[in-house]
């Protein structure tokens, strides 16, 4: 898409992104929650602008080489045009530039669009979190992209997500 631009999230995007959250998620991030990320040193939040309009956004936090995706969302009228892929790829590129060990996220297994998007970019199943989601209740599938060269921990099948929550076999 010629006129697609990825830009850092800014205050001018917050109203649109809070509305997008409400459209997409049962437990949406609020405008205040999004605004707090503007001053976070560990946050990388990108907005896709298409012909000057806010088309979608994606955000992650990177700490000690571990990048955890918070959100990826695209307004319905802009879907299936490569916006979600551009945003996710943008985060992966920025994680790579930070020399991250891995890039990981949770997704509902029933969200076949999102799972297909992430798998098309090289993320692979790394575990499940039991009853992670509410409204409706569902396990989370953990999908992870490791930046390590061959022979790293991921080749031995070790789950290296270390946030204290229970990780079940896929």
Ligand X SMILES: CC(C)(COP(=O)(O)OP(=O)(O)OC[C@H]1O[C@@H](n2cnc3c(N)ncnc32)[C@H](O)[C@@H]1OP(=O)(O)O)[C@@H](O)C(=O)NCCC(=O)NCCS
Residue with smaller CB distance to ligand X, 62 or 73:
73
Taking the complex as a whole, the smallest distance from the CB of residue 105 to ligand X amounts, in Å, to 6
> Is 57 designated active site?
no
Which residues here bind ligand X, judged by CB under 6 A? 24, 72-74, 79-85, 107, 111-114, 116-117, 120
User: For residue 64, how many other CB atoms are within 10 A of its CB?
Assistant: 8
b/e burial code for range 44-57 (CB count within 10 A of at least 16 → b): bbbbbbbeeebbbb
Q: Is 68 a catalytic residue?
A: no
Q: Is the peptide bond before 136 cis (omega within 30 degrees of 0)?
A: yes
Q: Report the nearest approach of ligand X to the CB of residue 155 (Å).
A: 26
Out of 49, 101, 106, 154, pick the active-site residue: 106
Q: Rounded CA gap, 90 and 58, in Å?
A: 9
CA distances from 168 to 7, 84, 131, 164 (A): 36, 28, 11, 12
**Minimal distance in Å, beta carbon 113 to ligand X?**
3
Burial class for 169, CB neighbours closer than 10 Å (0-12, 13-18, 19+): exposed
Nearer to ligand X, 31 or 85 (CB): 85
Q: Measured from the CB atom, is 132 or 147 closer to ligand X?
A: 132
How far is 149 from 22, CA to CA, in rounded Å?
39
Catalytic residue among 118, 155, 158, 166: 118
Q: Which is nearer to ligand X, 132 or 152 (CB)?
A: 132
Q: Which residue is nearest to ligand X (CB)?
A: 84
Provide, rounded to whole angstroms, the least separation between the CB of residue 31 and ligand X. Answer: 18
Q: What residues are annotated to the active site?
A: 106, 118
């Amino acid at each position: 898409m010629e006129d697609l631009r990825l830009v850092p999230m800014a205050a001018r995007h917050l109203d649109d992104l809070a509305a997008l959250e409400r459209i997409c998620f049962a437990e949406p991030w609020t405008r205040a929650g999004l605004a707090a990320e503007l001053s976070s040193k560990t946050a990388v939040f990108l907005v896709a602008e298409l012909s000057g309009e806010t088309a979608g956004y994606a955000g992650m936090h990177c700490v000690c080489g571990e990048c955890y995706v918070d959100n990826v969302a695209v307004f319905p009228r802009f879907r299936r045009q490569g916006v979600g892929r551009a945003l996710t790829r943008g985060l992966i590129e920025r994680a790579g530039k930070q020399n991250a060990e891995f890039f990981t996220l949770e997704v509902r297994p029933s969200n076949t669009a999102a799972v297909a998007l992430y798998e098309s970019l090289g993320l692979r199943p790394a575990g499940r979190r039991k009853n992670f989601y509410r409204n409706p209740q569902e396990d989370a599938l953990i999908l992870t992209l490791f930046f390590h060269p061959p022979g790293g921990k991921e080749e031995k099948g070790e789950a290296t997500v270390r946030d204290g929550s229970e990780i079940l076999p896929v």
